Amino acid sequence: MKTRRKFTPQFKSEVVLQLLSGEQSMAELCRRHQLTAQMIGQWKQQFLAAASRAFERDADRSPNKSASPSWNAWWEN
């Protein structure tokens, strides 16, 4: 029996950003990370659903909802 893999939020966001930027195709990401297209599709939906939080005013944002350093670095490039 295989052990279920766990993925960090940072890893998931990096995979989704690679897909959205066109850096790699869905098929390439699936092969590279041994993931299913359905899993990456779910991550993409979750990512896009939460994307509007990146534009909330700092005063409205709780400490748990702040943007991650990798998210900020992506936007600065």
Tell me the residue length of the chain. Answer: 77
Task: Summarize pLDDT for 18-54 with one digit per residue, the tens.
Answer: 999 999 999 999 999 999 999 999 999 999 999 988 8
pLDDT band for position 56 (cuts 50, 70, 90): confident
